[in-house]
Amino acid sequence: MTLSHCSKYWAPVLLWMSVIFLMSTGTFSADNTSLIIKPLIRFLSPSSTHEEIAVIHGVIRKLAHVTEYFILGLLLFRAFRGGAGGVPRWRWVLCSVLVVVVCAAADEFHQSFVSARTGALIDVGIDMLGGILAQGASVLWRLRRH
């Protein structure tokens, strides 16, 4: 495997993992994201109660978890595939899911040390969902192309 091959397939993975790490800092805590998301919800739905807005804010944050790890899952599948053609190999999927799980657990562990954040096992499951959905999309995409 050449350096250009590694950088082509693995640099995006490492870059996205850095984005995920940044998003697990206090900057993206619920208190901080609520400063942007809650006024937007109030604007779009002025009749919503404070409780409804809080629920919608929570759902948006959980969907962000799914999205972050969906993207990571896609990038991992691509990296493990490494330009190989043909039908998908299940080891690409398995390795991708394994890395997603390790990253999700490490991310939640990191958040447990950030004062404005909390680490939650349920979030690891939500992150895994994003990674697993990405593997399903990747496999379907590859199968459809062949």
| 10-residue stretch averages of pLDDT, the chain, 146 residues long | 82 97 89 92 95 95 96 96 77 95 96 88 96 95 83
The pLDDT, as a whole number, for residue 2 is: 77
Q: By residue range, what is the domain housing residue 54?
A: 3-145
Instruction: Please count the residues of the chain.
Output: 146
The pLDDT, as a whole number, for residue 3 is: 75
Query: Could you tell me which of 127, 132, 114 has the C-alpha nearest to residue 65?
Result: 127
Q: Into how many domains does the chain fold? A: 1
Backbone angles phi, psi at 114, to 5 degrees: -95, 125
pTM attached to this predicted model: 0.90
The pair of structure tokens assigned to 34 is 């609520």
The pLDDT, as a whole number, for residue 27 is: 86
Residue 119 contacts residue 146 (beta carbons within 8 Å) = no
